[in-house]
Amino acid sequence: MQVATYISDLLYRHDCVVIPEFGAILSRRVPAQHFESSHTMYPPKKGLSFNAQITQNDGLLVNYMASVEQIPYENALQQVRNYVRFLDHEIDAKGAVTVHKVGRFSRNSEQSIQFTPMYLVNYLPEAFGLASHETFAVDRSFVETTVPVEEPAILLPLEEETPVITLETPATKSASWVRYAAAAVFLIGGSYAGFTGYQNQVNQSELLVEQLADKQVKAQVQEASFIISNPLPSLNLQVAAMDAAINEVVKPVQVNSKNFHVIAGAFRSPANAYKKVRELQKLGYSAERIGVNKYGLHNVAFSSFDSRNEATNELIKLKATGFSNAWLLVGRLK
């Protein structure tokens, strides 16, 4: 049953877990132990014991079950009572019952409950992850070592040295010829290497001269002026209308005293900004240029408002009619 799991969980954090109407499981800290007979060291742990006199419900187990299973307190208490009946029935019928990871309960000849703890789980948080360690005894018996005896060296009689006779050979003409040939090969090799280096230097100089000449020719071609004997007749263009449009474009922007603007676009060229104003005015909007931002762009607004709510409502309407790039600007521009 799940009650055994809840009891095991509570033993990690509490020294006493009461099973109502059955008894209390107590825990105490046991230091690390070493058994010489088995040469085994055990880490510190919580030693478990059972007290059948403590049966009053302290609410620890029942409240923990209710919080984990998210059930009412009365339902959790009923589950604990059912579990106690199960334990009593198992002890009476089979003589013993085992609570998983906790221990084994049985009755003695006096019908008293006896408890045998199971140390499958170490409930001491400080010893988490520590396991028992088996050591091996050191054999300290004396071992005799034998030192090999060196045999005396046998001296052999020295042999008489045989004198070495050096033979002198007269100098021949062939040896002189070999030396002359080697000197000639060295001179030829050095001359060839010098000639090769000189030839590479000449080739590099010629390449630099060609590149310099190429640059000068390109510069002359770029700077050249051509004379046409039969020039085309000149054309006179009427630019009065354009001059008037430009003058109208660059005329100063009227200062807008409103702080909330629905922007249609921002343009680098004043002429493009004026063109956008004209397009929006033809569509029925009270468009105008409201100034230049810090990036040097001329902002064109559909309209300007005194409150944010009015400007936001207008922006929503414009986006619904197809002006998806419209946006809201708060503040004044120069």
Each residue's pLDDT tens digit, 145-166 = 777 767 666 666 665 566 666 6
CA dihedral for 117, 120, 121, 127, sign (positive or negative): positive
Give the pLDDT confidence of 177-199 residue by residue, as tens digits: 556 666 666 666 665 566 566 56
Tally Cβ neighbours within 10 Å of residue 230: 4
Q: What is the pLDDT of residue 78?
A: 94
Of the pLDDT bands very low, low, confident and very high (cuts 50, 70, 90), residue 259 is confident
Q: What is the pLDDT of residue 135?
A: 77
Of the pLDDT bands very low, low, confident and very high (cuts 50, 70, 90), residue 215 is low
Q: What is the distance between the alpha carbons of residues 122 and 128, in angstroms, rounded to a whole number? A: 7
Q: What is the pLDDT of residue 238?
A: 47
Give the pLDDT confidence of 41-70 residue by residue, as tens digits: 888 988 899 999 999 999 999 999 999 999
Q: What is the distance between the alpha carbons of residues 70 and 214, in angstroms, rounded to a whole number? A: 91
Of the pLDDT bands very low, low, confident and very high (cuts 50, 70, 90), residue 84 is very high
Quick check: 225 pLDDT over 60?
no
Quick check: 115 pLDDT over 90?
yes
Q: What is the distance between the alpha carbons of residues 83 and 66, in angstroms, rounded to a whole number? A: 15
Domains in the chain, start-ordered, CATH in brackets? 2-134 (no CATH), 254-330 (3.30.70.1070)
Q: What's the average model confidence in pLDDT over 130-145?
A: 74
Q: What is the distance between the alpha carbons of residues 220 and 243, in angstroms, rounded to a whole number? A: 39
Quick check: 331 pLDDT over 50?
yes
CB 40 within 8 A of CB 134: yes
The percent of residues above 90 in pLDDT, for the chain, comes to: 40
| DSSP secondary structure of 171-196 | --HHHHHHHHHHHHHHHHHHHHHHHH
Token code pair at residue 97: 């019952």
- Choose among 246, 298, 329: nearest CA to 288: 298
Q: What's the average model confidence in pLDDT over 68-88?
A: 93
**């090769």: which residue's tokens?**
196
Quick check: 214 pLDDT over 50?
yes
Of the pLDDT bands very low, low, confident and very high (cuts 50, 70, 90), residue 125 is confident
Q: What is the pLDDT of residue 43?
A: 87
Whole-model pTM: value is 0.40
CA dihedral for 190, 194, 200, 203, sign (positive or negative): negative
Q: What is the pLDDT of residue 165?
A: 60
The percent of residues above 70 in pLDDT, for the chain, comes to: 66
Quick check: 305 pLDDT over 70?
yes
Q: What's the average model confidence in pLDDT over 247-276?
A: 78
| DSSP secondary structure of 196-262 | HHHHHHHHHHHHHHHHHHHHHHHHHHHH-----SSPPPP-----HHHHHHHHHHTSPPPPP--SEEE
Mean of all residue pLDDT scores within the chain: 78
Indicate the DSSP class of residue 111.
S
